[in-house]
Structure 1
Amino acid sequence: MTDTVDLQKMVDVAVNALEDVKGKDIVVLDVAAKTSLFQRMIIASGDSNRQVKALVNNVAVDLKAQGFEVLSTEGTESGEWALVDAGDVVVHVMLPAVRDFYDIEALWGGEKPSFHSGHAKPWSSAD
């Protein structure tokens, strides 16, 4: 478990890395009360498969440069939904249509971003 200062620094590094490559609709969720696997989930959108891959790569490179361990990256083959697992912080980057379809913000109890289509989902958050 990362202490609070290091956790906030990890989140800041990841969010800045996403902003550097023009990531959109960045959301940070505190999921510590919902799972013991990680404490924060960061979700962002990229406009193309290439940008999704670049966003994930930039997050991984910046976290490593700041001394944080990156356990794995996934999904960079297709670039529709990719993620960085940095232990206490997990970063998801998706194309807008994929993000809208899976709506993981709602599943984890976050607010639905304004870009969503507004259709009700047949499931509820993991409260």
Structure 2
Amino acid sequence: MTDAKKDELLDLVLTQLDDDQAQEVVSIDLAGKSSIADHMVIASGRSTRQVASIAQKLAEKLKHEGYGPVKLEGLPQADWVLLDAGDIVVHLFRPEVRSFYNLERMWAFGDAPPVAGTA
């Protein structure tokens, strides 16, 4: 995937998360730092129902926009749902679970803090 397409994919993900009222959206640039993805997006939902809804809507939107079927893990419990869109991995949490795992701290590189998503 070209850099422009990766940027479009990231913008689409961040916009959809904003539209679905995901909270505390953070994007972490992994390009050149990890082979799993170029970006990791972390967001919260207020409840398991909202987390599941956000994940399902995002997966459907990505498929509809031509980014292929994405892999979803963590449904139906929806405490932590992982959405794998290839170059972008999205983690959706209930706030308590997000706080416990603290992925932002684990994946922070050097002095550069994660970038809050603004769509």
TM-score if structure 2 supplies the norm length? 0.88
Q: Can you give the 5+ residue segments of structure 2 that lack an aligned partner in the other structure?
A: none
Is the radius of gyration larger for structure 1 or structure 2?
A: 1
Q: Distance in 2 between matches of 1:19 and 1:57?
A: 14
- 8 Å Cα contact 1:31-1:41 kept in structure 2: yes
Q: Distance in 2 between matches of 1:7 and 1:112?
A: 18
One-letter code of the match for 2:78?
G
For 1:48-67, what aligned pairs fall within 5 Å after superposition? Answer: 48-67=47-66
Q: Can you give the 5+ residue segments of structure 1 that lack an aligned partner in the other structure?
A: 114-127
- 8 Å Cα contact 1:75-1:82 kept in structure 2: yes
| SS of equivalent to 1:13 | helix
For 1:70-109, what aligned pairs fall within 5 Å after superposition? Answer: 70-109=69-108
Post-superposition Cα deviations, 1:10-50, rounded to whole Å, max 9, x if no partner, equal: 11111111111110000011012221121000000000000
- Cα offset, 1:112, TM superposition: 7.4
Post-superposition Cα deviations, 1:34-92, rounded to whole Å, max 9, x if no partner, equal: 21121000000000000000111111111111110234101011010001101010011
Q: Distance in 1 between matches of 2:97 and 2:10?
A: 23
One-letter code of the match for 1:46?
G
- 8 Å Cα contact 1:41-1:92 kept in structure 2: yes
Identity %: 35
Q: Which structure ranks higher in relative contact order (CA pairs < 8 Å, sequence separation ≥ 6)?
A: 2
- 8 Å Cα contact 1:18-1:58 kept in structure 2: no
Partner in structure 2 of residue 26 of structure 1: 25
- 8 Å Cα contact 2:80-2:97 kept in structure 1: yes
Partner in structure 2 of residue 117 of structure 1: none
Q: Distance in 1 between matches of 2:69 and 2:96?
A: 27
What is the count of residue pairs matched by the alignment? 112
TM-score if structure 1 supplies the norm length? 0.82
